[in-house]
């Protein structure tokens, strides 16, 4: 057998954050779960509102005048993004937990032994993808649903006070959800635990508050991550929720805490 020689490599510098971002970008687009989850998210964010608006429109004649007066045209437009957060949450956890379940994390951290650039790069890549995906999706959902509802004079224009903030806010909400779930996944390192924790915080905790005495519920509920974040999607800050921007900033704060805790765990614990 002939000798095996490794071809020489001309080296150009070492590990840099832009390079790690490039690597994470390729990682993101070279596994199937990405495409599945984004496909599901698209169906939920755009398809669900279209369905809702069509149903509302076809049953409009059966609504009482009171119902019509209280109808909020934003509800069908943004209902999908409320559900799509599940897809973003799952993908955020998977991006890191799948590296632990497959062992890829050992290769990743061998290439980038300083470790933290990996988490920042994942955050930048997934955050940008989430924004680039969610913003057009909610805009399409908004304009499509409003064009269906406009024949009943039950639609909002983009310039209606609070509408632009609520619609763009729905996209921002999804981006922060994505980053927060990435933080959760980095802390827990396990797909099942990560997704359960994400679902508990976003879907189980809020309704669970209803078993508390009303005064407690009213004091705590607005500050839960998902409720605080959703304040930005409300057209009018109701009595039971924080004002839009303070609420959203609190939600961002939760995401930052999750990410920083994840960074701490990633840096300190054995891989």
Partner 1 sequence: MIEARELTKDYGEKRAVDGLTFDVRPGIVTGFLGPNGSGKSTTMRLILGLDRPTRGHVTVNGKPYAQHPAPLHEVGALLEARSIHTGRSARNHLRVLGQTHGIGKQRVEELIDLVGLHEVANKRAGKFSLGMGQRLGIATALLGDPATVMLDEPVNGLDPEGIQWIRTLLRGLAAEGRTVFVSSHLMSEMALTADHLIVIGRGKMIADTSVADFVAGASKQLVHVRSPQGAALSELLSGLGATVEEVEDGMLEIGGLSAEAVGEAAAANSIVLHELTPHQASLEEAFMDITRGELEFGHSEAAV
Binding site for partner 1 (CB under 8 A): 1-9, 11-16, 19-20, 22-24, 26-27, 30-33, 98-99, 102-114, 270-271
CB of 129 to partner 1, least distance (A): 16
CB of 266 to partner 1, least distance (A): 12
CB of 181 to partner 1, least distance (A): 19
Query: 126 vs 142, which CB is nearer to partner 1?
Result: 126
CB of 151 to partner 1, least distance (A): 46
CB of 21 to partner 1, least distance (A): 9
Which among 172, 168, 137 has a CA at the least distance from the CA of 49? Answer: 137
Query: 99 vs 251, which CB is nearer to partner 1?
Result: 99
CB 78 within 8 A of CB 141: yes
Query: 110 vs 215, which CB is nearer to partner 1?
Result: 110
Gap between the Cα atoms of 183 and 123, Å rounded? 9
CB of 133 to partner 1, least distance (A): 20
Gap between the Cα atoms of 76 and 240, Å rounded? 21
Query: 12 vs 159, which CB is nearer to partner 1?
Result: 12
Query: 118 vs 180, which CB is nearer to partner 1?
Result: 118
Query: 17 vs 257, which CB is nearer to partner 1?
Result: 17
């Amino acid at each position: 057998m002939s000798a095996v020689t490794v071809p020489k490599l001309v080296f150009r510098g070492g590990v840099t954050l832009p390079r790690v971002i490039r690597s994470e970008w390729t990682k993101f687009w070279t596994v199937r779960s990405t495409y599945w989850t984004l496909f599901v998210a698209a169906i939920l964010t755009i398809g669900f509102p279209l369905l809702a608006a069509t149903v509302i429109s076809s049953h409009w004649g059966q609504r009482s005048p009171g119902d019509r007066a209280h109808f909020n045209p934003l509800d069908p437009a943004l209902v999908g993004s409320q559900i799509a957060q599940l897809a973003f949450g799952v993908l955020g956890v998977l991006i890191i937990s799948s590296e632990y379940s497959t062992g890829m994390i050992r290769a990743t951290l061998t290439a980038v032994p300083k470790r933290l650039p990996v988490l920042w790069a994942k955050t930048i890549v997934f955050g940008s993808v989430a924004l680039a995906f969610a913003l057009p999706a909610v805009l399409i959902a908004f304009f499509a649903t409003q064009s269906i509802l406009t024949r009943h004079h039950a639609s909002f224009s983009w310039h209606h006070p609070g509408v632009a903030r609520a619609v763009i806010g729905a996209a921002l909400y999804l981006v922060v959800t994505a980053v927060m779930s990435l933080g959760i996944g980095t802390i827990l390192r396990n797909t099942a635990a990560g997704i359960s924790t994400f679902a508990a915080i976003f879907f189980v905790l809020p309704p669970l508050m209803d078993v508390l005495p009303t005064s407690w519920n009213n004091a705590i509920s607005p500050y839960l991550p998902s409720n605080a974040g959703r304040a930005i999607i409300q057209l009018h800050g109701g009595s039971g929720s924080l004002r839009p921007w303070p609420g959203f900033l609190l939600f961002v704060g939760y995401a930052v805490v999750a990410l920083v805790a994840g960074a701490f765990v990633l840096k300190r614990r054995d891989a």
